[in-house]
Amino acid sequence: QVQLKESGPGLVQPSQTLSLTCTVSGLSLTSNSVSWIRQPPGKGLEWMGVIWSNGGTDYNSAIKSRLSISRDTSKSQVFLKMNSLQTEDTAMYFCARNGDTKGIWFAYWGQGTLVTVSS
Amino acid sequence: DIQMTQSPASLSASLGETVTIECRASEDIYNGLAWYQQKPGKSPQLLIYNANSLHTGVPSRFSGSGSGTQYSLKINSLQSEDVASYFCQQYYNYPTFGGGTKLELK
């Protein structure tokens, strides 16, 4: 059974760096790709970036300069780091396993972790 | 970026009714389209991929269709558990989502 679970600090101060972890089970990161997606309260969804099964990454151009995605395959974990946080980065952050056919779509999602940016 | 315009933004329907949600892409996305259902306080769940392929375990009353820049999600015989928000997402290029449709019971 595929499962993903996000974890993180909950509250981050403006201008600081956000670090999130996605722990997966029931799948191997060396044969599956994982994306991060976020959703501000009451708003729509924004894809942030992906780490491919080969370890390569792609990012949303709107936040590329602030974002880094990495992984530890031995621990089945994917990491997100985003710097220079502002209040508009307040959102629910999800990790999701990509689908099996071409393109970046999301077959399985974690429950999400809420990040609030506030002093 | 490919822009996705979803309509309507909100929808009220009766149990047993057939509901259709539309999504228009700013350019041809060659059936690279998925639909998701999101219930309050929950993560989105995949319904449809490749514009018309039903994801494992999704009830057959959900169906997707379309081509080019125009796509739709149809829910036949609306059930109470279908009350949710629905999002389309294109993946012909880097992913972008529609603004969502909030479906309520009349």
Each residue's pLDDT tens digit, B11-70: 999 999 999 999 999 999 999 999 999 999 999 999 999 999 999 999 999 999 999 999
CB < 8 Å from A in window 55-94 of B: 55, 87, 89, 91-92, 94
**Mean pLDDT in consecutive groups of 10 residues from the start of chain A, 119 residues:** 95 97 96 97 96 96 97 98 97 94 90 97
Q: How far is B16 from chain A (nearest CA, A)?
A: 28
Residue to mutate among A61, A93, A100, A104, with most B CBs inside 10 A, is: A104
Per-residue b/e over A46-69, b at no fewer than 16 CB within 10 Å? bbbbbbbeeeeebbbeebeebbeb
Residue among B2, B10, B4 at smallest CA distance from B71: B4
**What pLDDT score was predicted for residue A100?**
80
**What pLDDT score was predicted for residue A77?**
98
User: For residue B9, is it left (φ>0), alpha (ψ between -120 and 50) or beta?
Assistant: alpha
Q: How far is B28 from chain A (nearest CA, A)?
A: 15
Residue to mutate among B5, B37, B94, with most A CBs inside 10 A, is: B94
Residue to mutate among A4, A22, A106, A108, with most B CBs inside 10 A, is: A106
Residues B95, A109: C-beta atoms closer than 8 Å:
no
β-partners of residue B72 are B22, B65
Residues B92, A103: C-beta atoms closer than 8 Å:
yes
Establish if A2 touches chain B: CB-CB under 8 angstroms: no
Residues B36, A111: C-beta atoms closer than 8 Å:
no
**What pLDDT score was predicted for residue A99?**
86
Residues A45, B87: C-beta atoms closer than 8 Å:
yes
**CB-CB neighbors (< 8 A) of A3 in chain B:** none
**What pLDDT score was predicted for residue A103?**
85
- Would strands B4-7 and A11-12 be described as parallel, antiparallel, or unpaired? unpaired
Cβ-in-10-Å burial (0-12, 13-18, 19+) of A71 comes to: buried
